[in-house]
Structure formats: C-alpha cells, structure tokens
C-alpha cells in the first residue's frame, strides 16, 4: 500500500471568515447585532451601514469608509459604547434648538407712535 504524504494539520493556516450584513443606524446612534448594540458616530444616525464581522471585531462601514469598530460582545442585551461617537452632539442640538426657537423682535422708531396722539 502506498503511503500518502500529507501535511500536518498544525501547518495549515486557519480560514479567514468574514460575514457582512446591512443595518440601519438608529436615531440614538446604535446598530444591533446578535442581540447587542454598538455605537456609531452621531453624524451617521439614520443612515444605512454595512457591518463586517472579522474574527472577533465588528466593523461598521458607511459609504465604503469604516466609521466605527468594536470587539464583538458575548451574550445578549449588552451595549458597546465609545464616548467619542457622541462628542459634539450636545452642542449641535443646542445650536439647532436655538435657531428654531430664536425670537425676532422688531424695533421701531418711537416717533411713529407720538404722531398718532
């Protein structure tokens, strides 16, 4: 019987696995994946994103640019939040609100009223 020359299993590199899915970034700046939530920079709230799972890292891509990455959480109901994803949000909300609720007061020359009397 002829002996086959096989390579040892330890010399064979593992397969690179990559999983891609589409997700919408919620209004509160998170995407859901496998029962957990991962933060995304606030500027991308409401946008469609591609999530890429490679090894134990979750990458979030919008318009072909990786905007966030997280270590994949175990279990469910957990949240991975990066503080820098929310930097500048409060200032933007304040500016938007002040523009909406800004009061314009008309100024008139008082001589206009004196002439009436």
Whether residue 105 lies inside any domain: the answer is yes
User: For position 45, what pLDDT does the model report?
Assistant: 94
How far CA 91 is from CA of 54, 87, 88, 99, in Å, comes to 35, 9, 5, 12
Instruction: Provide the domain limits for residue 39.
Output: 14-114
Whether residue 75 lies inside any domain: the answer is yes
User: For position 115, what pLDDT does the model report?
Assistant: 66
User: What is the tally of structural domains in the chain?
Assistant: 1
Per-residue pLDDT tens digits for 48-96:
999 999 888 999 999 999 999 999 999 999 999 999 999 998 898 888 8
> C-alpha angle 114/115/117, rounded to 5°?
70
Residue 1 burial (CB < 10 Å; 0-12/13-18/19+)?
exposed
Residue 17 has pLDDT above 90, yes or no: no
User: For position 99, what pLDDT does the model report?
Assistant: 76
CA dihedral 21, 55, 61, 78 (to 10 degrees): 80
**Greatest alpha-carbon span in the chain:** 124
User: Strand, helix or coil at 40?
Assistant: coil
Whether residue 20 lies inside any domain: the answer is yes
Which two three-digit tokens encode residue 73? 């959480």
Whether residue 71 lies inside any domain: the answer is yes
Residue 29 has pLDDT above 70, yes or no: yes
Sign of CA dihedral 66, 74, 56, 18: negative
Whether residue 2 lies inside any domain: the answer is no
Which pTM value belongs to this model? 0.70
User: For position 40, what pLDDT does the model report?
Assistant: 97
User: For position 97, what pLDDT does the model report?
Assistant: 84
């Amino acid at each position: 019987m002829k002996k086959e020359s096989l390579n040892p299993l330890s010399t064979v590199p593992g397969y690179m696995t990559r999983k891609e899915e589409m997700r919408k970034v919620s209004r509160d700046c998170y995407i859901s994946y496998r029962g957990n939530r991962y933060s995304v920079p606030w500027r991308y709230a409401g946008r469609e994103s591609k999530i890429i799972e490679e090894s134990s890292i979750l990458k979030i891509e919008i318009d072909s640019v990786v905007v966030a990455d997280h270590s994949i959480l175990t279990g469910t109901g957990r949240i991975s939040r990066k503080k820098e994803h929310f930097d500048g949000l409060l200032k933007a909300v304040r500016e938007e609100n002040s523009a909406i609720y800004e009061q314009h007061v008309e100024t008139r020359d008082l001589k206009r009223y004196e002439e009436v009397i």
